[in-house]
């Protein structure tokens, strides 16, 4: 599997996992969805907003724009429905971005400025994308835990299920 194929698999997986997680969260009453569960971003609502927010920060960086100056706990959308639509749009943008890349672009240096301290960073673009995919997985795991603690059904988000369903990276 080439680096590009791997990144395409991961961006597809992230969109698939986000869709499954949002479908589960759509069944949660608003009081539970927004309740403080002691998670890193307090609630399902906080976690989902954080994932979208950081994806938008990275999207700006990937497209040569200055990253927005939000704090990492900024709530972009108070309404779940609007947040879900924004998530779907953002996933589509990321899928399209990765599809347009080639091996040379993925291996090339990608330069960005770290929000926390203004440090200039250079790394291969594939490594920055790997961070984005891993970051989403990390916080989806937190949201998955909150769903379980609240007694709601938490979907299976395992990569191997996506691979089997999509046929990418899987041999029957």
Contacts 24+ apart (CB under 8 A), 86-93: 86/52, 87/18, 87/22, 87/48, 87/51, 87/52, 88/19, 90/52, 90/55, 90/56, 90/59, 91/14, 91/15, 91/18, 91/19, 92/15, 93/59
| Binding-site annotation, residues for a divalent metal cation | 50, 135, 139
pLDDT string in tens for the chain (172-residue length)? 899 999 999 999 999 999 999 999 999 999 999 999 988 889 999 999 999 999 999 999 999 998 888 888 889 999 999 999 999 999 999 999 999 999 999 999 999 998 889 899 999 999 999 999 999 999 999 999 999 999 999 999 999 999 999 999 888 7
Q: Do 21 and 157 contact (CB within 8 A), yes or no?
A: yes
Q: Which residues pair with 111 in a beta bridge?
A: 122
Alpha-carbon distance 170 to 160, whole Å? 8
Cα–Cα distance list, 129 to 21, 27, 34, 42, 152 (Å):
21, 31, 29, 26, 31
- Residues of the binding site: 50, 135, 139
Retrieve residue 86's tokens: 């924004």
pTM comes to 0.94
């Amino acid at each position: 599997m080439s680096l590009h194929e791997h990144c395409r698999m991961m961006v597809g997986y992230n969109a698939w996992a986000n869709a499954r997680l949002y479908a589960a969260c759509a069944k949660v009453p608003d009081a539970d969805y927004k309740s403080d569960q002691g998670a890193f971003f307090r609630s399902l609502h906080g976690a989902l907003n954080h994932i979208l927010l950081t994806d938008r920060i990275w999207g700006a960086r990937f497209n040569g724009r200055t990253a927005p100056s939000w704090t990492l706990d900024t709530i972009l959308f108070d309404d779940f429905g609007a947040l879900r639509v924004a998530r779907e749009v953002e996933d589509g943008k990321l899928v399209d971005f990765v599809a347009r890349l080639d091996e040379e672009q993925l291996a090339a240096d990608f330069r960005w400025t770290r929000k926390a301290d203004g440090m200039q960073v250079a790394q291969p673009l594939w490594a920055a994308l790997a961070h984005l995919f891993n970051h989403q997985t990390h916080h989806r795991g937190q949201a998955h835990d909150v769903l379980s603690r609240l007694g709601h059904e938490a979907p299976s988000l395992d990569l191997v299920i996506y691979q089997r369903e999509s046929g990418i990276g899987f041999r029957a």
